[in-house]
Amino acid sequence: MKKFKYLGLLLILLGILVNFIIPNRKYTIIISIFIVLLGFIIYLYSATKRLTWQCEECGYKFKINILEFILGINVIDTKLLYCQKCHKRTNCKALKLDKTNDH
């Protein structure tokens, strides 16, 4: 999944660079925003796949989807997420457990 992370970052960079490579073109800014957004989504997708979250209150470990990742409020190094076991919003810690999934 590390590949996706770098692909996302590369697309964000490319999206910004497009403005310098093709300046004064009518749709350059639209193309640029589109590429940046695409890169951002890929980056977020890889982040959601890589991380496992642990509930502060019950210790339950779970995965979240991209929407929850965007909507979850960051609190320093934790995230306010809906725990599937407690059935309430708790501070959750990010764990990088799936290192073995990196191919």
Identified binder of Zn ion from the candidate list 50, 83, 91, 92, rule CB under 5 A = 83
CB nearer Zn ion, residue 88 or residue 103: 88
Asked if 80 interacts with Zn ion (CB under 5 A), we say no
Asked if 82 interacts with Zn ion (CB under 5 A), we say no
Identified binder of Zn ion from the candidate list 4, 40, 60, 69, rule CB under 5 A = 60
| Residues 13-42 as x/- pattern, contact with Zn ion by CB under 5 A | ------------------------------
Distance CA 74, CA 47 (A): 14
Structure tokens at 64: 């979240």
CB nearer Zn ion, residue 11 or residue 51: 51
Determine whether 55 is exposed, middle or buried from the number of CB atoms within 10 Å of its CB (0-12, 13-18, 19+): buried
Extract the runs of DSSP E, i.e. beta strands, from the chain: 52-55, 61-62, 73-75, 78-83, 88-95
Strands 52-55 and 61-62: antiparallel
- Which residues would be at the binding site for Zn ion (CB under 5 A)? 55, 57-58, 60, 83, 85-86
